[in-house]
Amino acid sequence: MNRIEFTVATNEVLEIKVDGVPLQEHARRAELRSARADRQEDLAGAYAGLTNLGPVRWPSRHFLGEPVLTLDGDTVLLGCDCGDWGCWPLLARVDLTPTTVTWSDFKNEHRPAWDLTDLGPFEFDRPQYEAALKTTRRA
């Protein structure tokens, strides 16, 4: 099982870590081969945490299979490093069971040919996942 951390940084940006590594870094590693082939190496992992936190903070079900920020039904996990989630989003399918949450089928709609099969799937223990998500509740 993977371990997830959701953190609201002091600048009101939602940071996500999987197994202690920022999700952007996981994405960069997976995208690097495709980005190099396109001669756009600087675009690999060029994501940032979400800044429009109202709709995605706990008790929102955005990260629980009912996305508020979405393209084609997939959940936006990260936005562009420019601050606009729609500009360069990292998307994934989010599936829930009573005991697990799984992120799979990662993609970037702006680079559909990029191979992201090395990104995930990530399977989380649902109680740990929901506890981490609850830390995003506005104080």
Give the integer Cα–Cα distance in Å for 84 and 52.
9
Give the integer Cα–Cα distance in Å for 124 and 6.
13
What DSSP state is assigned to residue 96? Answer: E
Question: Is 139 domain-assigned?
Answer: no
**What one-letter code names the amino acid at 1?**
M
Q: Which of 118, 132, 122 is nearest to 101 (CA)?
A: 122
pTM equals 0.94
Number of structural domains the chain divides into:
1
Cis peptide before 89 (omega within 30 of 0): no
Secondary structure (3-state) at 24: helix
Per-residue pLDDT of the chain (139 residues; tens, 9 = 90+): 999 999 999 889 999 999 999 999 999 999 999 999 999 999 999 999 999 888 999 999 999 999 999 998 999 999 988 888 888 999 999 999 999 999 999 999 889 899 999 999 999 999 999 999 999 998 7
Residue bearing tokens 């829930």: 96
Is 68 exposed, middle or buried (CB count within 10 Å of its CB: 0-12, 13-18, 19+)? middle
pLDDT confidence of residue 10: 85
Give the integer Cα–Cα distance in Å for 9 and 91.
21
Question: Is 16 domain-assigned?
Answer: yes
Residue bearing tokens 């360069």: 88
pLDDT confidence of residue 68: 95
Give the integer Cα–Cα distance in Å for 53 and 28.
23
- Can you give the residue range of the structural domain that contains 50? 4-134
